[in-house]
C-alpha cells in the first residue's frame, strides 16, 4: 500500500515539474538590441566660431591743432577718395597768422635790401680810401643779420601756411566712413578722433577663440568662413593675428582671419561662422546620448560582445553633457572598448544584449 502511494506521489511530482518548466522558459527575456560604437581616440578636432567682418585697415582721423569745427562733410557709410576734405575747423586765426608772417617776410626783405646797399656803399668808400675797415665790417655784419632775419621770417611763414592746411581734415586713402566722433560747433583738441575711415577692399573675419583651442592655432592656419544669413556664401582665409593676451572675463583670444577675395556680401559688420580643423592631443569623444548621468556622476554601459552582456562603468568627462552634442571622456575608457550610445536609461548591469547596429566615431 505504501509503495503504491510513493509511486503516485513521484508521478505527481514529475508532472508538476514538467508543467512548470515551460513557464520558466517563457519568463526568460530576449537579449535587448543596442546601438553601440567602438571607442577610438581622435587626434584632430573641428572648431566653429561666430564672429564679424571687420576692416583690415581702419584709421581714426583727427585735427593736428586745436579749433572749433565748422564743417563735417561725411556721415557713416559714405565713400571717400584720398585727399577728400572730410571736416574743417575755423581757419580765421590761422589765416591771420599767415598774413602776419607774410608781413614779417616783407619787412625782413626790405631790411636785407638796405643792409646790402649799405655794405656796397661802405665797400666803395673803402676802395676810394674814404671809408674804414671797421665801417665795412659793421655793414657786412648788418647784412648777415638781415639775411638771417629773412630766413627766419620765411620759416615762420611756411609754418603758418602749414598750420592753415591743418584746418582741413583730409582722407588718407580711398575708403568708407565707419564712425564719426565730433559734431559741427564742437571744439576739438589736437589728436581727438573726428572721423574713422576703413579700407573696404581688405577685410578680416574677427573671432574670439577659447584658450583650449588657441594653443593649437598658428599664424597662417586655414579657415573656411560662411555668412550666417546665407551659408551658401563663403570664402577662405588664414589666421594673420592672434592676440597675445586673453580677455580676462571670457578667457578668449581675439583672432583675425585675413579673407581671400571676400564676396561683396561680406559687408563690414556682417555676422559670420569661421570653421577649421585643428590638431589636438589624442582624446576620446562620445555622443552625449552615450552618457548616463546619475547621482554619483556620469557613467557608460560597456558592451561585452562575446558574453552578450553590458556592464556599468563610471567615467569622468570634460564639461557639461548637453543633448545632441558630444562629450570628451577624460578617464574611464580605453581605445577598442565598445559602449552603448542610445537607450542608456533602459539597461541594467549584466543585462543580455544583442548588437543591433554599430555607428562610426
User: Can you give the pTM of this predicted structure?
Assistant: 0.59
Rounded CA separation 323/167 (Å):
62
- pLDDT value of residue 10: 31
What is the reported pLDDT for 13? 38
Order across the sheet with 79-80: list the strands.
58-62, 193-198, 175-180, 79-80
The pair phi, psi for residue 278, each rounded to 5°, is: -120, 150
Whole-number Cα distances in Å, 318 to 84, 194, 314: 56, 48, 14
- Residue 329 CB coordination number (10 Å): 21
* CA atoms within 13 Å, Cβ hemisphere of 320: 3
- Cβ-contact 59, 86 below 8 angstroms: no
Q: Which residue has the cell 575711415?
A: 197
pLDDT tops 60 at residue 9 = no
| Mean pLDDT of the chain, nearest integer | 87
Report pLDDT for 23: 42
Rounded CA gap, 173 and 310, in Å? 70
Residue with cell 571622456: 329
> In order of start, what are the domains of the chain with their CATH numbers?
32-43+284-358 (2.40.420.20), 48-55+200-280 (2.40.30.170), 59-90+167-198 (2.40.50.100), 92-165 (1.10.287)
Higher-pLDDT residue of 226 and 213 is: 226
Statement: residue 14 has pLDDT above 50: no
Predicted confidence (pLDDT) per residue in 105-139, tens digit: 999 999 999 999 999 999 888 888 888 889 889 99
* Interior angle at CA 296, CA 294 and CA 301, nearest 5: 60
Q: Is the Cβ–Cβ distance between 35 and 359 less than 8 Å?
A: yes
At residue 212, does pLDDT exceed 80? Answer: no
pLDDT of amino acid 43: 65
First to last CA, the chain: 75
Among the listed residues 178, 141, 152, 146, the one whose alpha carbon sits nearest the alpha carbon of residue 58? 178
Give the pLDDT band of residue 358 (cuts 50, 70, 90): confident
- Between CA 179 and CA 235, with CA 267 as vertex, the angle to 5 degrees is 145
- The answer to whether residues 343 and 356 touch, using CB atoms and an 8 Å cutoff, is no
Q: Measure the CA–CA gap between 259 and 57, rounded to whole angstroms.
A: 13
C-alpha dihedral sign at 347, 348, 350, 352: negative
Cell of 35: 546601438
CA distance 327 to 318: 7
Confidence of residue 7 (pLDDT cuts 50, 70, 90): very low
Give the single-character DSSP code of 346. G
Taking the mean position of all CA atoms in its chain, how far away is CA 327?
A: 26
Contact 102, 155 (CB under 8 A): no
Amino acid at each position: 500500500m505504501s509503495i503504491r502511494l510513493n509511486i503516485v506521489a513521484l508521478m505527481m511530482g514529475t508532472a508538476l515539474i514538467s508543467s512548470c518548466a515551460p513557464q520558466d522558459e517563457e519568463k526568460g527575456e530576449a537579449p535587448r538590441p543596442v546601438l553601440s560604437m567602438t571607442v577610438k581616440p581622435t587626434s584632430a578636432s573641428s572648431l566653429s566660431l561666430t564672429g564679424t567682418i571687420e576692416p583690415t585697415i581702419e584709421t581714426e582721423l583727427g585735427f593736428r591743432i586745436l579749433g572749433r569745427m565748422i564743417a563735417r562733410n561725411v556721415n557713416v557709410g559714405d565713400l571717400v577718395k584720398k585727399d577728400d576734405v572730410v571736416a574743417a575747423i575755423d581757419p580765421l586765426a590761422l589765416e591771420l597768422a599767415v598774413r602776419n608772417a607774410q608781413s614779417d617776410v616783407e619787412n625782413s626783405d626790405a631790411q636785407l635790401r638796405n643792409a646790402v646797399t649799405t655794405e656796397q656803399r661802405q665797400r666803395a668808400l673803402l676802395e676810394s680810401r674814404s671809408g674804414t675797415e671797421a665801417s665795412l665790417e659793421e655793414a657786412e655784419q648788418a647784412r648777415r643779420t638781415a639775411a638771417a632775419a629773412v630766413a627766419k621770417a620765411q620759416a615762420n611763414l611756411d609754418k603758418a601756411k602749414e598750420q592753415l592746411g591743418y584746418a582741413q581734415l583730409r582722407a588718407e586713402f580711398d575708403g568708407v566712413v565707419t564712425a564719426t566722433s565730433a559734431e559741427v560747433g564742437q571744439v576739438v583738441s589736437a589728436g581727438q578722433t573726428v572721423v574713422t575711415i576703413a579700407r573696404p577692399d581688405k577685410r578680416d573675419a574677427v573671432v574670439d577663440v577659447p584658450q583650449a583651442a588657441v594653443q593649437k592655432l598658428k599664424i597662417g592656419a586655414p579657415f573656411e568662413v560662411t555668412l550666417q544669413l546665407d551659408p551658401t556664401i563663403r570664402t577662405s582665409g588664414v589666421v594673420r593675428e592672434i592676440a597675445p593676451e586673453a580677455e580676462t572675463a571670457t578667457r578668449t583670444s581675439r583672432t583675425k582671419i585675413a579673407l581671400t577675395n571676400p564676396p561683396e556680401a561680406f559687408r563690414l559688420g556682417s555676422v559670420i561662422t569661421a570653421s577649421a580643423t585643428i590638431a589636438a592631443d589624442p582624446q576620446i569623444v562620445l555622443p552625449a546620448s552615450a552618457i548616463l548621468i546619475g547621482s554619483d556622476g556620469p557613467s557608460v554601459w560597456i558592451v561585452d560582445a562575446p558574453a552578450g552582456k553590458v556592464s556599468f562603468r563610471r567615467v569622468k568627462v570634460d564639461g557639461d553633457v548637453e543633448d545632441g552634442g558630444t562629450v570628451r571622456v577624460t578617464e574611464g575608457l580605453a581605445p577598442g572598448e565598445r559602449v552603448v550610445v542610445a537607450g542608456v536609461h533602459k539597461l541594467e548591469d549584466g543585462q543580455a544584449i544583442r548588437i543591433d547596429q554599430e555607428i562610426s566615431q
